[in-house]
Chain A
Amino acid sequence: MECKSSGSPVTFVDNVVVPGDVVVDLSSMTNQTIKLGGGLRQDCDAISVMKAGKLRFSKPNKYWVETSQKRYVPCVEDSVLGIVVDSKSDNFLIDIKGPALAFLPVLAFEGGTRRNIPKFEAGTLLYVRVVKANPGMNPELSCTDASGKAAEFGALKDGYMFECSTGLSRMLLSSPTCPVLEALGKKLSFEIAVGLNGRVWVNSNSPSIVIIVANAIMNSESLSGVQQKIMAEKLLHKIQLIVLEGYILDCKWTIVEESVTFEIFAHLPSALKDAQDFELRIRIDPLQVLL
């Protein structure tokens, strides 16, 4: 079943393709079945591209185009983050950034019966799975895995959700672990849920960690693996310095011709005193300075 003779798909696989590219020539590969995913179409013997993105191939015979965009095109078995928009008697209406609202049947929960229907107010964030995505129909979601278990699906409490491109969320889910998450995860403790529809949810004990992680992820959109690591490490270094503020005992300042001089009395751990690039970042509330 493997395509042997055709040279063209091999050259295109994992490369950027644009609409109109003919990636597979069927006339050269008879006696084979191939499966086409999103972004590809068949014109007689030619398989041509409909979207700009990277052509992917999975053994034995699946081809699809991976794109990065703001809008999500629902696809079966994707796990996504949805926002409850409305609830009807047998369905919740969920926004998954797609062209149409998705339906989440009220019974699609672990052990769901007519008696224990969950209550979600509008604006609740859910981690769900797409089970049906047919053209011309609203997609259908489920809060259980294939075997009917809850398996992490369901409402997400607290934390912060932000939107990104579908490409970025795919990068965050890729294995081995995305460098930015790996670097951040070594120093900070946080929970993260990534939806393939370009939504990411982050939770942690302190809001500042959430903000740091969220911004680091958003900044890593166009960075390579190494750059992501450097960026995350720089960020962590900065945070350490902020933590130092806890050691400051007293602080005096004098204002001389619009410039402010600080005198800081701090009790520092001896290890830190030796650090060469030691600097203190002081957060001043501009409100206080003004008044």
Chain B
Amino acid sequence: MDGRLANTWKLTVNEKKFIETALASNLRIDGRNPLEYRKITIKFGRQELQEEKNNGVPLMSCYCVIIASVLPLEDGSSEVQLGQTHVMGLVTGQLVQPYQDRQNEGTLSIFTEFSPMADPSFEPGRPGESAVELGRIVDRGLSFSMECFPKNMESRAVDTESLCVLAGKLVWAIRIDLHILDNGGNLVDAANIAALASLLTFRRPECTLGGEDGQEVTVHPPECFPTSYAFYKSESSGGLLMYQINWITVVGVENGFSYNEREPLPLIVHHLPIAITFAFFGGEGKMVVDPVHSEEAVMGGRMTVTVNANGDICAIQKGGGEGVPQSAIMHCLQLASLSAESITKKIKNAVEAYNTERALRKIKRHPTSDAGNVSVAALDVIEQNKTIEQVEGSELSRHHLERLKLVPEDTCSSRGDDNDADIKPSEQGGTGRVQGNAVNFLGGPSSWDPYSKGVDPDSLKASLASRGVSTRHMKQNGSGENSPKTEPEKPTKDIKQATLATDTSGTALQTNGEKTLKDAVKPKNKRRKRASPSMKGS
């Protein structure tokens, strides 16, 4: 009994009285206005984890790998801080058999973890009342609107139909884990933001159907993995069994490289339902938004409104004993839709920044090659999508060899000149490498993103232009700059720039246009201006 008494947190009489009297004059204990939200910080998983994971994983000998570990760890994890409240969200996916009544839909489930470290009043083990309620509110926000508009599937936050791989046989089960790390009040809103942020950054491996009967599922690993996996339908058992789904067999490996790898797909999220919590105090109808821990202990009633940026109400949850008049509810809805807009903007900005970083990191991740290789790779773009291995293995054309001889070793240093002004110094090394390895991207599917529309016509133009450039008509146009350098060097440089341009524009599409990448695209425009006369010339 003694231990339990020590663990239950009790508000002192003084605090209770003070919170109430201060609120009477529109003051809150942390100095906020009654309708002011706390500061939101959103962080995402760290890249180091992934780097570690990918380096020399002996996948060849692995026969049993669950999907969750195939995914890079960083994607789909987020940490949200709302004042003192701290919540971690983690999204994972697994291939399972669908429910009988929804054969062509994936599933979305939410699990909450209330650790006693966050608050001593949380008991370890079984989920408490508040843990269940929190999970239900987030869940309802994400899926409830489906019930409201059963015909309009788009009203759901997450498109579960796109998670179907093989109708009736294999679908993705998306699992959201919400870990409460510190309880500073208003866990619902923080957990909801964490769930959304991690859903937006989650990526699942692409699946395609193949085989004679079109029933063989191939799971395309993220491109950083040097092998591919396939699911085999077991003929003997007469269908897919749950445990067999989780067994992965390595197929199609050639010299450690496979041509099956594809960029993992993000989930299709139609809108972001944002939960806003209001606390009600006493009979005078005092109301505050985003209550802190001690305010939650004093409040009479609580209402969580889940709305999206368009002002659609997805869910309402009213807790606590106190009754609330209709006018107050309408007022809350108004206020909620206002703050939902700003919170949506914050989440989107954070996700966008993360995507930019991810794209840049992907560029860095590619294996380094020396200057000679770089120029080969750059030339390779002109030769239309040959992979590095092919170029290395096959005999180089006379044209290539000639070009190679002319390219001096110091191209590495000259490379920097192209980007100096546009790219941040920290990223320079990585972006420098892009130019050489852009081939890898062009080889892969450019339409991995459901929203992207293939290759940007502008970038195509740019690459065409660069091809014109490569026929050395560039001499006349570009002679103004880089005068001390030898002539043959220029075409290679230009090609590299163009490669960068095509590549970055591709990435820019995927990540909905971020600042850094846009900056990197700048040379493309310059290039176009300069290159177009050369096209005419040729």
Contact = CB atoms under 8 A, between A and B. Distances in A.
Interface of A: 83, 85-86, 93, 95, 99-101, 121-125, 138, 156-162, 201, 207-208, 210-212, 214-215, 283, 285-287, 290-291
A211 B27 contact: yes
Question: Which 3 residue pairs across A and B have the least CB separation, nearest first?
Answer: A207-B22, A160-B18, A123-B13
Contact of A124 (B12, B21, B34, B35): B12
A210 B18 contact: yes
A200 B156 CA distance: 48
B486 interface: no
A157 B17 CA distance: 10
Given A101-B5, A290-B334, A207 B13 contact: no
Interface string B331-365: 10011000000000000000000000000000000
Interface string B18-36: 1001100111111101110
Contact of B31 (A157, A162, A215): A215
B253 interface: no
A201 B10 CA distance: 16
Contacts, number: 77
A216 B29 CA distance: 12
Nearest to A285: B26
Contacts of A95: 5-6, 10
Given A85-B5, A101-B6, A161 B31 contact: no
A85 B11 CA distance: 10
Given A101-B5, A211-B27, A215-B30, A123 B18 contact: no
Given A100-B6, A211-B29, A159 B13 contact: no
Contacts of B15: 160-161
Contact of A211 (B6, B14, B31): B31
B2 interface: yes
B26 A157 contact: no
28 contacts: A83-B10, A85-B10, A86-B5, A95-B5, A95-B6, A95-B10, A100-B6, A101-B6, A121-B13, A123-B12, A123-B13, A124-B12, A125-B13, A138-B2, A158-B14, A160-B14, A161-B12, A162-B29, A201-B14, A207-B21, A211-B22, A211-B29, A212-B31, A215-B31, A283-B33, A286-B335, A287-B34, A290-B334
B16 interface: yes
B29 A160 contact: yes
B25 A207 contact: yes
Interface residues of B, number: 27
A83 B11 CA distance: 9
Residue with the highest number of chain A CB atoms closer than 10 Å, among B13, B17, B22, B334: B13
A161 B29 contact: no
Given A100-B2, A124-B13, 20 more contacts: A85-B10, A93-B5, A100-B6, A101-B6, A122-B10, A123-B10, A123-B12, A138-B2, A158-B18, A162-B29, A207-B18, A207-B22, A207-B25, A208-B25, A208-B27, A211-B28, A211-B30, A211-B31, A215-B30, A291-B331
A99 B31 CA distance: 32
Contacts of B27: 207-208, 211
Contacts of B334: 290
A63 B335 CA distance: 57
A221 to B, nearest CB: 13
Contacts of A207: 18, 21-22, 25, 27
B14 A125 contact: yes
A125 B14 CA distance: 7
Nearest to B11: A123
Contacts of A123: 10-13, 16
Nearest to B18: A160
Nearest to A83: B12
Contacts of A291: 331
A287 B35 contact: yes
Contacts of A138: 2
B112 to A, nearest CB: 24
Nearest to B29: A211
Contacts of B21: 207
A158 B26 CA distance: 18
Contacts of A159: 14, 18
A158 to B, nearest CB: 6
Contacts of B28: 211
Contacts of B18: 158-160, 207, 210
Contacts of B33: 283, 286
Contacts of A157: 14
Nearest to A215: B31
Contacts of B25: 207-208
Contacts of B12: 83, 123-125, 161
A104 B302 CA distance: 37
A122 to B, nearest CB: 7
B333 to A, nearest CB: 12
A86 B13 CA distance: 14
Given A101-B5, A159-B18, A214 B10 contact: no
In this complex, which of B5, B28, B335 has the most chain A Cβ atoms within 10 angstroms of its Cβ? B5
Contacts of A286: 33, 35, 335
B281 to A, nearest CB: 14
Contacts of B29: 160, 162, 211, 214
A140 to B, nearest CB: 15
Nearest to B30: A215
A201 B12 CA distance: 11
Nearest to B24: A207
A80 B247 CA distance: 60
Contacts of A121: 13
Contacts of B6: 85, 95, 99-101
Contacts of B2: 100-101, 138
A157 B334 CA distance: 39
A161 B5 CA distance: 20
Contacts of A290: 331, 334-335
**Residue from B12, B21, B33 having most chain A Cβ neighbours under 10 A:** B12
Most chain A CB inside 10 Å of its own CB: which residue of B14, B15, B18: B14
A22 to B, nearest CB: 31
A71 to B, nearest CB: 10
